[in-house]
Amino acid sequence: MRASAYPLIDADEAASLVLEHTPVLGIERVALAHCVGRVLAEDLVAPASLPAFPASAVDGYAVRASDAGKQLRVVGESAAGRPFEGKVTPGSSVRILTGGVLPDGADCVVMVEDVEEKGDVVTVPAALKPGVNFHAPGADLRAGERVLAAGEQLGPAELGLAAALGFPRLPVFRRPRVALMSTGDELVEVGEKPGKGQIVDSNRWALLAALREAGADVKSLGIGPDEADALRKLVGDALREVDVMVTSGGVSVGTHDLIKPLLESLGTVHVGRVKLKPGKPFTFATLPEGRLAFGLPGFPVSSLVTFEVFVRPALRKMQGFARPHRPTLPVRLGYDARATAERTEYQRVTLRREGNELVAETTGSQSSSRLMSLAGAHALVRIPAGAQGIKAGTTMEAMILSLP
Ligand code: AMP
Ligand code: MG
């Protein structure tokens, strides 16, 4: 063992350092089918008005409001996509279907339920108002209007709008390409039977899911050995193709912990130890050409909590999200929270609603090796450094993972 050369950095300061060094990635034009969840990189301006023509909102008859109460001759039909080419003159009407173009001369649509039909004559109600039962051109949006702002995330409604306006592709921020590697001589692949002293590599699957959920395009490097030269070779080859490297394990100060010296030789280590529980040995480095490297601790809970605190916000910033952080909400503690006075602590909780409040219950033992503390957790309650015992009933801020 050697003493760590790295100062213990405050958790918020470490998170700021990470974001300060995180670039926003470039822009690419992507087909609508692949845009969901992506962030728009340029404002989207409507090239034309919607609707582009006066479109009937109902099935009925296109008439002139001044013909109220009269018997009108039906001179034709305007169906969706099949407009009536003539004109509605005084005393006449045109059968119209939802989405059909309001013919010239007509100024309103009477619902089919409100007319009396007899042969090719309809009797319309005694009171009619112009402008009724159709969507006027530009009623939904006008040509030149900003429809979506750069920085907005694209979901179903936004993509529908883009299609309606005639954009088959959209400018979005690139997704980060991430190399993911587990390290440790004790690790075996899932499905293999661990021998004495061996354990299954579970972090890679947990982190693969977390990375994908955060929008990353992941290249898995498998399991790296606790051997400096072999590790360097594995990483060196992969780095050329990615924006970010994420490793787990090998960041504490044991003699087999090789990630920190490796990152030092490749770039600059900005964070080597954090006042954070779990996750004290979290390591962050910048590498040449704007690349980032995150050395996450080996314990399964530590790796996922440091992912949430440091990696996800960085990946979101890279993808152009205006708000890199997960939402937080005040929650009322349903349990007495013991705190580690010198470190910020993220405790795993489930949430339930009680009236207008969210009440947090602990998921049990918060050991950093116990993934069960995170399975099914709705939130991470943030216990600030310096806090002592926090009593049940206290309201604390929590990072929301999912709502109950
Ligand atoms: P390390 O940071 O390499 O000293 O790892 C600390 C502990 O985390 C190890 O003793 C293992 O119990 C556990 N660990 C490390 N890597 C993994 C992994 N990929 N999957 C599951 N557990 C791991
Ligand atoms: Mg290890």
Highest mean pLDDT among 102-106, 225-229, 256-260: 102-106
Pocket test for ligand 1, best of 201, 299, 302 (most atoms within 8 A of CB): 299
DSSP 156-201: HHHHHHHHHTT-SEEEEEPPPEEEEEEE-TTEE-TTSPP-TT-EE-
Alpha helices in 179-298 (DSSP H): 203-213, 228-239, 259-266
pLDDT tens for residues 47-64? 999 999 999 999 999 999
- Residue 3's pLDDT band, with cuts at 50, 70 and 90, is low
* Shortest-distance ligand to the CA of residue 298: 1
Ligand 1 center from residue 22 Cα (angstroms): 27
Ligand 2 center from residue 13 Cα (angstroms): 26
pLDDT tens for residues 170-219? 999 999 999 999 999 999 999 999 999 999 999 999 999 999 999 999 99
- pLDDT at position 389 is 87
- pLDDT at position 236 is 85
Ligand 2 center from residue 311 Cα (angstroms): 20
Q: At what angle do helices 228-239 and 259-266 cross, to 10 degrees?
A: 50
Q: Which residues line ligand 1 (CB under 6 A)?
A: 182, 184, 187, 199, 201-204, 248-252, 257, 297-300
117: left (phi over 0), alpha (psi -120 to 50) or beta: beta
Q: How many CB atoms lie within 10 A of CB 5?
A: 11
Atom 12 of ligand 1 has which residue's CA nearest to it? 299
Amino acid, single-letter form, for residue 335 = Y
* Shortest-distance ligand to the CA of residue 295: 1
Contact in structure between 267 and 288 (CB atoms under 8 Å) = yes
Residue 42 has pLDDT above 80, yes or no: yes
Pocket test for ligand 1, best of 4, 181, 199 (most atoms within 8 A of CB): 199
Q: How many CB atoms lie within 10 A of CB 244?
A: 23
Residue 255 has pLDDT above 80, yes or no: no
pTM of the complete model: 0.93
Please list, residue by residue across 332-341, b when 16 or more beta carbons sit within 10 angstroms of its beta carbon and e when fewer do.
ebbbebebee
